Amino acid sequence: MSIPPKSSKRIVFTGGSGVAGRHVIARLLSFGYEILNVDAVPLDNPKVHTLKADLTDGAQAFNSLSCHFRPSEPFPGPVTTPDAVVHFAGIPQPMRLPDNETFRINTLSSYNILESACKLGIKKIILASSITTYGVTYADGDAQYPHFPLTEDSPMLPMDVYATSKVCMERIAHSFALRFPSVDIYCLRIGAVIEPDLHAQKFAAYVARPQDFKAHAWSYTDARDLGGMVHACVGKGGLGFQVFNAVNDECTLPEREGSVGDWLGRVCPGTEVRGVMGRWESPVCNAKIREMVGWREEFGWRGRMEEKQDNEGCW
* pLDDT beyond 80 at 1: no
Helices in the chain by DSSP H: which ranges? 19-30, 58-64, 99-120, 161-179, 199-208, 223-235, 260-267, 287-288, 301-312
Query: Under a CB-based contact definition with an 8 Å cutoff, are residues 9 and 33 in contact?
Result: yes
Evaluate if pTM is beyond 0.85. yes
Question: What is the pLDDT at residue 312?
Answer: 35
Instruction: Give me the architecture of the 10-196+220-249+283-307 domain, per CATH.
Output: 3-Layer(aba) Sandwich (3.40)
The CA-based angle 199-201-203, given to 5 degrees, is 65
> 8 pLDDT band (50/70/90 cuts)?
confident
- As a whole number of Å, the end-to-end CA separation of the chain is 26
pLDDT tens for each residue of 193-242? 999 999 999 999 999 999 999 999 999 999 999 999 999 999 999 999 99
Query: Under a CB-based contact definition with an 8 Å cutoff, are residues 90 and 38 in contact?
Result: no
| Structural domain boundaries in the chain | 10-196+220-249+283-307
Identify whether 149 is preceded by a cis peptide bond (ω within 30 of 0). yes
